[in-house]
A and B are shown apart, each in its own frame.
Chain A
Amino acid sequence: MRAAKPPFPFMRFLSLFLIILAFAVDAKAIKTDHAEISIIGKNNIISEPGTIDLGYKFIFTPGWHTYWINPGDSGGPPTFQSSQVKGWKINQNLWPGPQTIEYPPLMTYGYENEVVFPFKLEIVDLENKETDINIKFLVCDDICVPEEANLKLILKNKILNIEERPDELKKWTKLVPVRGPPDLKASIQNNQIRISADLIDRGSYFFPYDDQVIDFSTKQNFLDSTLSFETLDSFDGKVNGIISSESGFFEINKKVSLQETVQQTSISLLTAIIFALIGGLILNLMPCVLPVIALKALSLVKNANESRSSVTMNASAYVFGVILTFMVIASLLISFKNAGELIGWGYQLQSPFIVTLLCLLIFSIGLILVINIDIFSSAGKLERFNKGSGLVNSFLTGALSVIVASPCTAPFMGAALGFALIQPDIYSYLVFLSLAVGFALPYFLIAIFPSLVNFLPKPGQWMESLKQLFGFMMFGAAIWLLWVLANQVDANSLLIVMVGLFLSAFILWLQKTNFKHSIKTALILVFVYGYCLGNWDFKENTGTKEDDSMAWSLEREIDLRDDNRSYFINFTAAWCITCQVNEAVAFTDNMMEIFDNKDITYLKADWTNRNATIAKELEKYNRSGLPVYIYWNKNLDEPMVLNELLTEGYLMEIIDEN
């Protein structure tokens, strides 16, 4: 360009000089209608045989462009053809990362204004020689024009006829994609591909090599080092392309398992709702919930001879209590999620404070059941306020049962709630609502068909005994919560909880003995205790009992994967009952020996206390609740998410089959 139209005398001189220089080395930039093409390199003096880096440089008419190897919706990449000449070899050109060039509704990938395609020249000897290079390319702005250029690469007297532009060559070579980072991961769920790596940033874009991955104009979303976008129906599971990032382009070549998505990670909204419904129903049978629920059932039995409308009212109040409490919990979880917190189902048990409160609550309920006091109404008032306080009572029972149910994650609920929490808010609410309805279903039915009460056994003395028995179930649940706490905090912190249990028992005894100032005393004690608890700094139990050789960390997992060594990850927590059962049933000494023999590294990720890394990792598997079991060996593209209920046999099968 400059040589063609020099505006100033100095430039004229310079261009003259350049032309002379050009003649000397016979380097010619070939001009076509919309482009100027030349070969550039670092140094045009070749002193010894070897491989040197060169590049085809294109300068287009401003605003015009050519295309990347995958042009996108229209256009096509340039082609380079050279004649075979003895004594040197021109290698295939490389493709620097492109930019997106949009023509809504179409999306194309290419290079605007200029581009350099680096390539390597292998020089075998220093004899004089020349090669013809034919370049065909499409150059476009709104319209496209196919153009062609014939270049000559000449070595004469150890001088190569190239332009010396080391900086430009370096700049474009740096844009050639490099191997993806080790933490690069791809997964698919509900037709959404998710690619994550620390390098991925807000400006990142996935350029596919294949035509069948995405609709090129599909919007790519960024969140938390993750790119996500919708796939085509014809997507075959191969995520093959390059990703732009601030530090350059890197390649991705991953296979995502479509089959696994169908079975495990991607469950549809409808399935999630059904699972939540069933899960909610099963929650009724959990040891910490059953007593509370059963009490409600008993009170219904007691009042069976009352009017139908009263039964309906009571059951409805209970259902209302359950649903309202669930929705409050749901909005809390969702607002946490929207605030960017990494949370999961059961997360509330990661707070020693909440575990303490639950423990006190459950212990007190146990005591009330065993020593049989009517906490809400003394005998005389019962009859008068039956209707009003009865309804409040039913409502509170509903709320209470939801709260005590929270530690018990039924096996289905991990998937359902995991699904709920990664969906748009409205779906999250739907799943939680369905869970609530499932939980309240038996009473829902009674509310609609009050005559069902007649099918319940006749009231009698057995009710008292059953009540007391349930009280002991509550003590059991309290013991479990204490154990969870023991895993979380040190002995001194545990002490204050024990004192709390003692005080609860004392207050209830005061109530039982009809001590005159029982209410006042209770209030004072609760206040003093609450004050202590509020000021108590729970110290995390730092000394882990597990030896570190089993502790999971992302680095260890990546290392194992890079070394092609199989591994098994057990995501667990002391407060997860299913986890404890699985550990007792499946992770026997025998199983550990088998792991050892097969060189499978067993890793344990303990989520008893809050841990953002683990929460983030679980999110990758689309889970927010425990347990989660992961198995990987070198034959699997992506880690396998196992069933939530384990047996030795099932584990052996998995290991043998893969």
Chain B
Amino acid sequence: MKIKILVFLIACCTLFAGVKNDATAPTFVLMNQDSEMVDLASFKGKKIILEWTNHDCPFVKRHYDTENMQELQREYTNNNVIWLSIISSAEGKQGYVTKSEAKGLTASRNAQPSHVLFDSNGDVGRLYDAKTTPHMYVIDEKGLLRYQGAIDDLGRTGALFSTDLSKAKNYVRNAMNSLFLGKDVAEKNTRPYGCSVKY
């Protein structure tokens, strides 16, 4: 135990990879689709959902083609929740888009994110240890990380080939429901699935 803590402390000091549940979510500042700088800290007092995305990833495509992701975005942005779609694809890699392309995608897919954020050097992705697209994070009003992991329980290829995504157990929705009720999140850390983030 002690050794573990020691190792953990060293890891924290050197590079801080990954984020801990129920700890303060690391803040960041990224540019959005309108060339505005968006600071995570400025949303304190609101619930925040982070969505790592890559529009060409088959898993992400499936969630957008079925309107599953948009519905979730609509449901929460209408309820005063901040939804940040983050693109960590490096320039030249799959999923990398310019600001105008991103706006086009949002319009054509009828998506409802509060902001689309660009992280083409991957710093924020690595800070959060984002592994896949989609990879979801839920942050509460106090800035504490309350959920990280998959969007639902259709891991592996379920999401890709299964017919009805709406019947899946949606971890993000469950986490948000718990937060709205002021309860502890039951499943706060799941294994994300999807395509690798194209750092």
Complex contact B2–A73 (CB within 8 A): no
Query: Which of the 9-residue segments B25-33, B74-82, B152-160 touches chain A?
Result: B152-160
Complex CA–CA separation, A106 to B196 (angstroms): 7
Within 8 A of A (CB), among B145-175: 155-161
Complex contact B161–A75 (CB within 8 A): no
Complex contact B2–A74 (CB within 8 A): no
Contacting residues, chain A, for B132 (C-beta < 8 A): 73-74
Within 8 A of B (CB), among A170-202: 190-191
Our pick among B1, B129, B193 for the contact of A74 (Cβ within 8 Å) is B193
Q: Is A270 an interface residue (CB 8 A)?
A: yes
Complex contact A268–B1 (CB within 8 A): yes
Complex CA–CA separation, A146 to B160 (angstroms): 8
Q: Is B47 an interface residue (CB 8 A)?
A: no
Our pick among A67, A73, A76, A142 for the contact of B94 (Cβ within 8 Å) is A142
**Nearest chain A CB to B162's CB is how many angstroms away?**
9
Contacting residues, chain A, for B181 (C-beta < 8 A): none
Complex CA–CA separation, A78 to B194 (angstroms): 14
Complex CA–CA separation, A142 to B197 (angstroms): 10
Contacting residues, chain A, for B4 (C-beta < 8 A): 190-191
Complex contact A143–B94 (CB within 8 A): yes
Within 8 A of B (CB), among A206-265: 211-212, 234
Complex CA–CA separation, A71 to B192 (angstroms): 12
Q: Is B114 an interface residue (CB 8 A)?
A: no
The interface bits of chain A over 125-153 (1 if a CB of B lies within 8 angstroms of the residue's CB, else 0) are 00000000000111010111110000000
Complex contact B191–A212 (CB within 8 A): yes
**Nearest chain B CB to A204's CB is how many angstroms away?**
24
Complex contact A211–B196 (CB within 8 A): no
Nearest residue (CB) in A for B155 is A211
Contacting residues, chain A, for B193 (C-beta < 8 A): 71, 74, 76
Contacting residues, chain A, for B129 (C-beta < 8 A): 105
Contacting residues, chain B, for A106 (C-beta < 8 A): 131, 196
Q: Is B195 an interface residue (CB 8 A)?
A: yes
Q: Is A23 an interface residue (CB 8 A)?
A: no
Q: Is A70 an interface residue (CB 8 A)?
A: yes
Q: Is B39 an interface residue (CB 8 A)?
A: no
Q: A142-B198, A144-B57 are in contact. Are A76 and B3 (CB under 8 A)?
A: no
Complex CA–CA separation, A71 to B93 (angstroms): 22
Q: Is B70 an interface residue (CB 8 A)?
A: no
Contacting residues, chain A, for B2 (C-beta < 8 A): 268-270
Complex contact B156–A76 (CB within 8 A): yes
Q: Is A103 an interface residue (CB 8 A)?
A: yes
Nearest residue (CB) in B for A146 is B58
Within 8 A of A (CB), among B54-71: 56-58
Complex CA–CA separation, A211 to B191 (angstroms): 7
**Nearest chain A CB to B171's CB is how many angstroms away?**
13
Within 8 A of A (CB), among B1-43: 1-4
Nearest residue (CB) in B for A147 is B58
Complex contact B195–A143 (CB within 8 A): yes
Complex CA–CA separation, A144 to B133 (angstroms): 12
Complex contact A138–B93 (CB within 8 A): no
Q: Is A372 an interface residue (CB 8 A)?
A: no
Q: Is A287 an interface residue (CB 8 A)?
A: no
Contacting residues, chain B, for A211 (C-beta < 8 A): 155, 191
Nearest residue (CB) in A for B1 is A268
**Nearest chain B CB to A97's CB is how many angstroms away?**
18
Complex CA–CA separation, A105 to B4 (angstroms): 21
Complex CA–CA separation, A229 to B2 (angstroms): 18
Within 8 A of B (CB), among A51-103: 67, 70-71, 73-79, 103
Contacting residues, chain A, for B1 (C-beta < 8 A): 190, 268
Q: List 27 A-B contacts (CB under 8 A).
A: A67-B156, A73-B196, A74-B194, A74-B196, A75-B156, A75-B196, A76-B156, A76-B159, A76-B160, A77-B157, A79-B161, A103-B196, A106-B131, A136-B157, A137-B157, A138-B58, A138-B160, A142-B198, A143-B57, A143-B94, A144-B58, A146-B160, A190-B4, A211-B191, A268-B2, A269-B2, A270-B2
With A71-B157, A76-B157, A268-B2 given, name 20 new contacts (CB 8 A): A71-B156, A71-B193, A73-B132, A74-B132, A74-B195, A76-B155, A76-B158, A76-B160, A78-B157, A79-B161, A105-B131, A137-B157, A138-B157, A138-B160, A142-B93, A144-B57, A146-B160, A211-B155, A211-B191, A270-B2
Residues of A in contact with B (beta carbons under 8 Å apart): 67, 70-71, 73-79, 103, 105-106, 108, 136-138, 140, 142-146, 190-191, 211-212, 234, 268-270
The 4 closest A-B pairs by CB, nearest first: A76-B157, A211-B191, A74-B196, A76-B156
